[in-house]
Structure 1
Amino acid sequence: MIWDYQPPWWLLGGNAQTIYSAKLAQRYVGAKPRWQRERWDTQDGDFVDVDWRNDEIALPDDAPLLVLFHGLEGSSSSHYAQAFAQEAKLRGWHMAVPHFRGCSGELNWAPRAYHSGDFEEVGWMLSRFQMLHQGPLFAVGISLGGNALMRWAGEVGHSANQVLQAIASVCSPIDLTASGNAIDTGFNKAVYARMFLATMKPRAMQKLAQFPGLFDPLELRAAKTLYAFDNVFTAPLHGFNSTDDYWDRASAKPGLSRIQVPALVLNARNDPFIPESCLPTQGQVSDLVTLWQPEQGGHVGFASGTFPADLQEMPWAVMEWMTQNG
């Protein structure tokens, strides 16, 4: 199966596709997806919140389960999570969205947050889902979540097959240095980096109130780029020496050649966040990795159909690929 996204004639350019899909495109048909929250205690005395799709009709216990790892500052309310929830419902799949620490609406307790290479956390979550669920397990990661998921798959190799059937990443910055530099430049810096920092900086200051002295608040407030924010907050809190060290070690791209579970890597070539020049080639990935690199799509911006357009084509294509290859 090969999917090549074609946008509506009136939705042109990576920025338009990105912004329209996030803000205006139809995410679901009928009732809004409903979630039932479950709290998991972590091994370090913290917690993560998991939202399970609460379907109107009970599904068999052994129906497939889709686990969706959200993107930077995302949640089960994100446009892509709701679109995948719609597709999971149509297929009769269970679905769950585990929130990275601090992203469920309540500040987590430990002196840490989450990051793009958080593969240990991803592995722990997947093992927990495997223990809880009787049927086939699939996972998709969006943007940051996809990098962490692919980072996990590259790290564990053949062991991934013992946990799940197939994985997919959607618009993930698998080369964090290239993507970080892109988002901190020009229009991207003015719009996207500013948007992310508007929520990340206040949450970091809440973390500082929990743990006085954790970082320098003056440096944090002065941060105007993701690079600067990561240098003050993300990198040191998670064991990295600097932003450069973090972006280098957390990138999933070098590990794609070691993946030993069916994996789909979907990246639009006009993604404002992810330069086309950094996308992987088939020679850089294992035989079990499929690359989809349509010319259009922006950053998780695959709206389709007639005006006002909807978001169902991409989730359908991704889940169809996983069904056929898992």
Structure 2
Amino acid sequence: MPLIKTKYKAPAFFRNAHISSIYAATLRKVDFSFICQNRIELSDGDFLDLERSFYSPQNNKIIILLHGLAGNANRPYMLGMAKKFKAKGWDVASMNFRSCSGEMNRLYRSYHAGAIEDLEAIIAHLQRENKYSEIGLVGFSLGGNLMMKYLGEQNNIPSEIKSAVAISTPCDLGASLKELDKTHNFLYSKRFIKNLKKELQLRQTHFPSEISKEEITQCNSLLAIDELYTSKAHGFKNASDYYKKCSCIGFLPNIKIPTLLLNAKNDSFLSPNSYPVELAKNSKFLHLEIPKHGGHVGFIQHKNAYYQEERTLEFITQERSRILESIK
């Protein structure tokens, strides 16, 4: 597919990447709440919590939302997307990755950017429950990487999955981590490190034989955390092995459903590999849109809805209409 010409025009004040990213993450308020929470028991003895919202008991379409690093189902960007789809007649299932719902998971492992088995478990659960005829996937940042890895790695994804959108997604994990380590991203990386170390300290109290307080204290970078915990706890040799095997960039050519990648040109989290221009030009399924502004999940407009929400709904609705037209 050719590159998509974006329609997004950032308000003047929000053309600064840091202002739009920080405002969207910390100051945005969304008037929406989920109806209930479902706990999903996993085959390895662990659990995941889903936040749910239903349009009607007989609904046949659902959108599944995946959050970013150190996020959860109730972050403003998740609520904004859920609100947009609910208003247009979709059921919504918003994932909390393992340990992200306010209660630590049972196992030493938690979540990571390539844990497609958890997404598979959620999809299977939803289909056993309601047999939706149409499923849409939306992933933000780390969740976008996980989602696109799933779509490109699995040969037989459920036919009910019709389209997907990835927003502000680091397609090359190692390269994007190097971007986060740069001076202009100091505040972001410091916040991520603080939150992740807090989670590790809690995990240490439950699994003292697996990790020590001293090891956690010595972690002063995201790379160090991935070396100490993320890679080892999830079966990778080291951080480099984790980044190589879980970056979605290697799986994008294999995606076989319409998928939109929406990455702002001024997103300071992303490396050049997160803008796969040539790949998109030669793909039937990967659509790439690169607005000039928007920062990291900060596509702010002069209205309550953000551009990423309107664009995601538009893309998924258009693909739905095209599919329905083709089977008439």
1:68–1:81 contact (8 Å) kept in structure 2: yes
1:60 positional shift: 4.4
The 5 Å alignment of 1:80-229 reads 80-135=77-132, 136-157=134-155, 159-188=156-185, 190-229=186-225
- Please state whether the residue corresponding to 1:11 is helix, strand or coil: helix
Distance in 2 separating the partners of 1:123 and 1:134: 15
Answer yes or no: is 1:8 the counterpart of 2:11: yes
Distance in 1 separating the partners of 2:152 and 2:36: 31
1:215 positional shift: 2.4
Match of 2:300 in 1: 303
- Please state whether the residue corresponding to 2:251 is helix, strand or coil: helix
1:263 positional shift: 1.0
1:161 positional shift: 4.9
The 5 Å alignment of 1:225-240 reads 225-240=221-236
Deviations 1:191-250 (A, max 9, x none): 111111222112112212212221243222121211111111111000111111111111
1:256–1:286 contact (8 Å) kept in structure 2: no
Of the three residues 302, 307, 320, the one matched with 1:313 is: 307
Distance in 1 separating the partners of 2:283 and 2:106: 38
Q: Which residue type is aligned with residue 241 of structure 2?
A: D
1:147 positional shift: 0.4
Match of 2:30 in 1: 27
Flag the 1:69–1:277 CA change in 2: closer, same or farther, 3 A.
closer
1:178–1:278 contact (8 Å) kept in structure 2: no
1:272 positional shift: 1.1
Distance in 1 separating the partners of 2:261 and 2:273: 15
> Where does the alignment leave 5 or more consecutive residues of structure 2 unmatched?
321-328
Match of 1:267 in 2: 263
Of the three residues 69, 75, 79, the one matched with 2:72 is: 75
1:85 positional shift: 1.7
Root mean square deviation, CA, Å: 1.8
1:165–1:261 contact (8 Å) kept in structure 2: yes
Q: Which residue type is aligned with residue 7 of structure 2?
A: D
The 5 Å alignment of 1:36-75 reads 36-53=36-53, 59-75=56-72
Distance in 2 separating the partners of 1:163 and 1:241: 35
1:63–1:92 contact (8 Å) kept in structure 2: no
1:220–1:233 contact (8 Å) kept in structure 2: no
Bigger mean CA deviation after superposition, 39-48 or 213-222: 213-222
Answer yes or no: is 1:17 the counterpart of 2:20: yes
Return the TM-score normalized by structure 2.
0.91
1:277 positional shift: 5.3
Distance in 1 separating the partners of 2:131 and 2:57: 10
Q: Which residue type is aligned with residue 73 of structure 1?
A: A
Answer yes or no: is 1:323 the counterpart of 2:317: yes
1:310 positional shift: 3.2
Distance in 1 separating the partners of 2:198 and 2:157: 36
Return the TM-score normalized by structure 1.
0.91
- Please state whether the residue corresponding to 1:95 is helix, strand or coil: strand
Deviations 1:71-98 (A, max 9, x none): 1111121011110122012201110112
Deviations 1:89-123 (A, max 9, x none): 22011101121100000000011011011112222
- Please state whether the residue corresponding to 2:92 is helix, strand or coil: strand
- Please state whether the residue corresponding to 1:113 is helix, strand or coil: coil
- Please state whether the residue corresponding to 2:196 is helix, strand or coil: helix
1:12 positional shift: 2.2
Flag the 1:311–1:23 CA change in 2: closer, same or farther, 3 A.
farther
> Where does the alignment leave 5 or more consecutive residues of structure 1 unmatched?
none
1:68–1:96 contact (8 Å) kept in structure 2: yes
Match of 2:325 in 1: none
2:34–2:51 contact (8 Å) kept in structure 1: no
Distance in 2 separating the partners of 1:60 and 1:36: 14
Bigger mean CA deviation after superposition, 279-288 or 264-273: 279-288
Counting matched residue pairs gives: 315
Deviations 1:52-79 (A, max 9, x none): 02x6xx5242342111011111112101
Q: Which residue type is aligned with residue 246 of structure 2?
A: A
Distance in 2 separating the partners of 1:317 and 1:27: 18
- Please state whether the residue corresponding to 1:310 is helix, strand or coil: coil
